[in-house]
Amino acid sequence: MLEKVENEFVSLVKERRDMLAKRRREDDEDDLVLFLGQSAIPPPLTTDGTEPPAPPTAQERGERRLARTIRRSARRTRGVQRAEDEDGYSTDGSLPDDEAADYAAALEDMEKRRRAVLADVEAPEFRDPNLGLAVRFGEWRTTYADNYRDAFGGLGMVNAWEFWARLEVVGWTPLEVRLYGCRLTVGC
């Protein structure tokens, strides 16, 4: 169950990354076309032998530029400077409201499945590693120190602790800070 939740989280993060990368690439291409003209953009390459997609029209490029301008002005009119509002990053590093809501819902669903991994476990020693695993290995270490050292007990403790560490790390993104249930993206 834990591996399924981990794989789901990785796919969510990859999907978000792909959406942001596509929008950033399109924004850069729009600016380049505005400055140098359509001939500055090489036609996309396809490796599967299919016809490359038609380049966006001037109207589509204008709509994307307008959407970027609206995102930036909305951020500036909020009045309150937040951690994710670093100029340049806040507009291209955040998802549109509808996609952000979908992403948040998917993360909440993934979090429910993460909590469900230990839902059927009733013994407190197995639910909390500090009550079971740490106590048992601690007793072994203090009572039979030589045996613990010779059996590489420390390495065994690390391997036994891995499950709980992985369970805690699922859903954690290093570039996002959670404060009181809110996700704030930290600029790089």
pLDDT tens-digit readout, 3-13? 899 999 999 98
Averaged over 160-172, what is the pLDDT? Answer: 83
Is the pLDDT assigned to residue 39 strictly greater than 70? no
Q: Tell me the C-alpha distance between 4 and 44, whole Å.
A: 35
Is the pLDDT assigned to residue 148 strictly greater than 70? yes
**Helix 2-36 to helix 58-77 angle, to the nearest 10 degrees?**
110
Q: What are the structural domain ranges in the chain?
A: 1-117, 121-181
Is the pLDDT assigned to residue 182 strictly greater than 70? no
Is the pLDDT assigned to residue 91 strictly greater than 80? no
Averaged over 133-140, what is the pLDDT? Answer: 80
28 vs 181 pLDDT, higher one? 28
How much is the pLDDT for 173?
78
Cross-strand partners of 183? 178
